Amino acid sequence: MEETGTCRYVAGALGPTNRTLSISPSVERPDFRNISFDELVDAYSEQARGLLDGGVDVLLVETIFDTLNSKAALYGIQLLFEKEYKEVPVFISGTIVDKSGRTLSGQTSEAFVISVSHVKPVCIGLNCALGATEMRPYIEAIGTSTSSFVICYPNAGLPNTFGDYDETPEVMAEQIASFAKDGLVNIVGGCCGTTPEHIKAISEAVSQCKPRVPPEEVLNGYMLLSGLEAMHIGPYTNFINIGERCNVAGSRKFCKLIKNGQYEEALSIAKLQVENGAQILDINMDEGMLDGPPAMTKFVNLIASEPDIAKVPLCIDSSNFAVVEAGLKCAQGKCIVNSISLKEGVRDFVEKARIIKCHGAAVVVMAFDEEGQATETERKVAICRRSYNILVKEVKFNQNDIIFDPNILTIATGIEEHNRYGITFVEATQLIKETLPGARVSGGVSNFSFAFRGMETVREAMHSVFLYHAIKAGLDMGIVNAGCLPVYVDIEPKLLELCENLLWNKDPDGTEKLLLYAQGLSKDPKKAVVSDEWRKKPVEERLEYSLVKGIDKHIIEDTAEARISDCYPRPLNVIEGPLMKGMSIVGDLFGAGKMFLPQVIKSARVMKKAVGYLIPYMEEEKAARMKLEGIKDFELISSYVGTVVLATVKGDVHDIGKNIVGVVLGCNNYKVIDLGVMTPCEKILETAIKERADIVGLSGLITPSLDEMIHVAKEMQRIGMNLPLLIGGATTSKTHTAVRIAPRYTSATVHVLDASKSVVVCSALMDKILKEEFLEDISDEYEEIREDHYDSLKDRRYLSIDRARSKGLKLNWRTEPVPVPPSFLGIKQFEDYDLTLLVPYIDWKPFFDVWQLRGKYPNRGYPKIFNDKAVGEEAKKVFDDAQAMLYNSINDKLLTAKGVIGFYLAQSVGDDIEIYDDSEMHIETLHGLRQQAEKESASDEPYLCLSDFIAPRGSGVTDYIGMFAVSCFGVNEMCKKFEQQFDDYNIIMVKALADRLAEAFAEEMHERVRKEFWSYSQEECLAAADLHKIKYEGIRPAPGYPSQPDHTEKTIMWRLLEPDKLGIQLTESLAMDPAASVSGLYFANPKSSYFAVGKITKDQVVDYANRKKDDVDTVEKWLGPMLAYDAEAD
């Protein structure tokens, strides 16, 4: 401090050690570890003590190649802070070992963040192993996954063949500076191969960059779990299947294998559950003849050696807390603990909860207390509420990490009071979800039907009925063998009625009736209910049945029968017809909660088998077509309609839908490059560029895939790609695409409902004539969807105006291009402007809208509307009449145009823009409004105000602003003439034409401003259609419109421009007269963009009124539709 005048801090580094808790050092013994969790905790604690005694300001747990090692370090640090030392900030830095984007122990960067975020690190990021260039996508992934600051200190490139690092300080500094400029990082530095010269160059390169602004929350309201991969459980996540078969108390086979020491065979049961759709894996070792802790340790260690199992989060399940701890000490991901309760009193409950919190796990809380198990709705809810308050208020447990099990108890036992157990669980579930924010609800589903053990058909039907209703009430997850559940709508009607009556206690004789039904099913009830009646139906119905039921036994023979049928002349027709129809039904049932993920996966396997059978026939057909058309193999590439890159995004392994799309496109002569599953963003983009793709298609089934798709879209935007982006998959939707993805990518983004639509979409995108119209149609539709979506958000949250300002657009004015000065300062008037110059700039689409003539795709807009069957003929008549009136009006000078433009020195001051004359005297102030409606938690979009586009006062940068007002005169005189003739048609016509001329005047003048009067875009060469689509640089927003909805700002423009002298006046309500007038501001900043301020809150209104020196009531009057509150109520 004395020498440099700059405050310096010391970070005490805790390295990774030369041991690993997640990987065995012995190939022969995958469960073996050469160090224990407790030993690592002791080692890290000793090191942390030394650093803290030495006076470090920060503890930096770094170079983490195994997350479990870091969890041991963090566990020890938490204990030190709790018992011995004053808390200091904790930084965490992981290590991605190669371009797979994973740590050495196999975790993705997001899973790593979730696993260690329980300690609320001040900073989290990456170091070592990679150079800056290779590290970028993973640092970006870290940033989107955390509300902490981000640290990044890569190596000086990748090592050469001798293990040395060749990257120069200048090259490395430039790369890291790009991170900083893009707002990805807060702390930067260097690791292996870097020298003091590297650090100096990096420091200088980022010295003028604004630090990353962390999001306030990431995935607000979500439960975040992890195995090797991340898992998000949010408000719209489908029911989560917790696999139940790795439970010694619930699976005889598993229990036998474990007791016989056949752990690796037992591992196959775990793997099969994950393959069949278990999203979380329950592990229970509670058996009288088992030593629980060692058994749990061995099995969880073995799971770590199997990536196909370890990718999902674990649920460590035991009534013995020592077994729970043993499991937690072996799991690098964020687990669930099942369970704790108030059964042994508050002290025991709090102690266990604190340990679980220290390990960073979520917790299941049973509805037990000191008095025993709750059976009635009120007591279930009361115990859960009491537990919740202790956890949240005393233990400071994250409310989103709390799961309640309100006790799924057995019904139909013959004891009358048990008959309401299903009802009380459903009621309690609904009340818990309504009254305990963030909490989830789970349960062991098999308990419900235990009275019918041995009668599997009945039990499975009971489970399906129970889940159908419990999920509607709010059940989030359950321990269930979901792969054996029948589809709710397929349960035999009599059995369904009996199960419904039992659940809702509608029939006092329900138990006896169900028993009687079960006894009539024979000893092997599963075989008894199997019927081959469906085999007698038409082939289309048989295919549909096979797909919905997940039966592959007859799929090949049925597909073959369809292929040779006259109804399907091409193999592709079978896919597009009955197979797609069947999968569509599967999708609908899944979406309605009547099918579960394991059942969907079975259906997908059947589909895959059918498509696999058809592929050789489609290839044969393609070869025959090539031969007929004389196309040689080497000529094939030039014969393709286009090249499409398809990928299932990172974190998702589901690909049946994508594969079908690939087959369908391939059969329609597209070159398809399928990158498979789990595809990192950078691989998708690299392939698209390398292969010169025409279209990129992204697919995904699980909810986190939606966020990855957003990331891909943002990266495509960042690197300047302009390829159409197709979005598809079970969890995707047109609404999500329109609201979340399309705004992140300025090029075409289209949701594709299913494979049958892919050819239609791709064909439209590849057709130079149809493409523009198709995308315009999509753009309009998505804009309507966005408006409807945001209008429907009754409980939309808003940032305070101060917080919104802190998250505004932050430009580095020292590195931005120097603003170009206009050719003059002051105003320039135009009288009797040549109307013939404006005609080419007319946008005719709004003209047809006036007459309510709207063509449908592909005949929307001018001139294609003339081809529309419904309105084309009438549109042509109206257009011809317009042309005649337009040219008569110009030739006879019935209509004239006048306008004025002005340019001024300008500087922003907060949300205002101060305007100066050419002597730099302050003459006026334009006032701005800023966006306040809270954006998505993962969004890094700024909260915009028009002042963001003007250099701030004190920045040392001279900036400018322009403004204009243009008008078309003569309308009133023409209308009076037509009124005398009672000619309403021509009255509407002349007004519509005048509006078009005024808008064309604004468009033409703006072009002249860019190229001539301001000259900041002299090389621009755009057609009128491109001008209408705003493909130019700069904007011309107007007061009263979305970017500044306050009409009173026009008065400031009128004082400066003096349009009144030309006859362009403002009415009392601040409308322009003549009505065919356009006015606005000119911004030249290349980063300027149109936006909607949206709703604003009282704090901004009060602030705005003070800045305008106006009273709040007046401001509220003018901004009425924009208020996010009831002004009269206040």
Sequential DSSP letters for 542-609: HHHHHHHHT--TTHHHHHHHHHTSTT-SSHHHHIIIIIHHHHHHHHHHHHTTSS-HHHHHHHHHHHHH
Question: pLDDT per residue over 291-306, tens digit each?
Answer: 999 999 999 999 999 9
pLDDT of residue 1: 44
DSSP-derived secondary structure letter, 820: P
Rounded Cα gap, residues 544 and 549, in angstroms: 8
CB atoms within 10 A of CB 732: 23
Cβ–Cβ under 8 Å, residues 906 and 893 = no
Cα–Cα distances (Å) from 761 to 272, 572, 699, in that order, read: 38, 17, 15
Segment holding 838, helix H or strand E: none
Rounded Cα gap, residues 902 and 683, in angstroms: 49
Question: What value does the mean pLDDT take over residues 215-227?
Answer: 90
Model's pTM, two decimal places?
0.69
pLDDT of residue 223: 96
> Is 654 tagged catalytic?
yes
Cα–Cα distances (Å) from 774 to 434, 643, 875, in that order, read: 44, 19, 20
Cβ–Cβ under 8 Å, residues 905 and 916 = yes
Return the closest-CA partner of residue 586 out of 644, 501, 660.
Answer: 660
pLDDT of residue 480: 84
The radius of gyration computed from the CA coordinates of the chain, to the nearest angstrom, equals 34
Q: Which one is catalytic: 652, 674, 694, 1046?
A: 652
Residues 6+ apart with CB under 8 A from 629: 639
Tokens of 777: 């149609």
pLDDT of residue 631: 62
Rounded Cα gap, residues 846 and 789, in angstroms: 25
Segment holding 1072, helix H or strand E: strand 1072-1073
pLDDT of residue 193: 92
Amino acid present at 167: E
pLDDT of residue 635: 47
Rounded Cα gap, residues 1014 and 825, in angstroms: 10
Q: Which one is catalytic: 198, 232, 463, 654?
A: 654
Q: Do β-strands 280-284 and 314-317 pair in parallel, antiparallel, or remain unpaired?
A: parallel
> Is 359 tagged catalytic?
no
Cis peptide before 339 (omega within 30 of 0): yes
pLDDT of residue 702: 64
Segment holding 316, helix H or strand E: strand 314-317
Question: What value does the mean pLDDT take over residues 182-205?
Answer: 94
Question: pLDDT per residue over 963-979, tens digit each?
Answer: 999 999 999 999 999 88
Residues comprising the chain, all counted: 1130
State the SS3 of 943-992: CCCHHHHCCECCCCCCEEEEEEEEEEECHHHHHHHHHHCCCHHHHHHHHH
Return the closest-CA partner of residue 863 out of 872, 765, 993.
Answer: 872
Residue owning tokens 């797909």: 547
Most confident of 803-807, 901-905, 1028-1032: 901-905
Question: pLDDT per residue over 524-560, tens digit each?
Answer: 544 444 567 888 999 999 999 998 888 888 999 999 9
Question: What value does the mean pLDDT take over residues 981-1010?
Answer: 92
The answer to whether residue 637 scores a pLDDT higher than 60 is: no
Rounded Cα gap, residues 579 and 574, in angstroms: 6
Return the closest-CA partner of residue 21 out of 110, 89, 115.
Answer: 115
**CA dihedral over 540, 545, 550, 551, signed as positive or negative:** negative
Question: What value does the mean pLDDT take over residues 577-589?
Answer: 81
The answer to whether residue 127 scores a pLDDT higher than 50 is: yes
> Is 639 tagged catalytic?
no
pLDDT over 90 for what percent of the chain?
Answer: 60
Amino acid present at 435: T
Q: What totals of helices (H) and strands (E) does the chain contain, helices first?
A: 39, 31
pLDDT of residue 528: 43
Amino acid present at 966: V
pLDDT of residue 683: 92
Tokens of 838: 């404006």
Question: pLDDT per residue over 861-909, tens digit each?
Answer: 788 888 888 888 888 999 999 999 999 999 999 999 999 999 999 999 9
Segment holding 388, helix H or strand E: helix 377-389
pLDDT of residue 1090: 92
The answer to whether residue 593 scores a pLDDT higher than 80 is: no
For residue 223, the cross-strand partners are 233
pLDDT of residue 1130: 53
Rounded Cα gap, residues 411 and 581, in angstroms: 39
Question: pLDDT per residue over 368-401, tens digit each?
Answer: 999 989 999 999 999 999 999 999 999 999 999 9
HSE-CB at 586 with a 13 A cutoff on CA atoms is 32
881-884 long-range contacts, CB within 8 A, separation 24+: 881/989, 882/847, 882/989, 882/992, 882/993
Segment holding 667, helix H or strand E: helix 656-667
Which one is predicted more confidently, 450 or 859? 450
Q: Which one is catalytic: 70, 148, 226, 705?
A: 705
Question: What value does the mean pLDDT take over residues 447-476?
Answer: 91
Rounded Cα gap, residues 485 and 462, in angstroms: 9
pLDDT of residue 794: 56
Tokens of 541: 């119905």
Coil, strand or helix at 876: helix
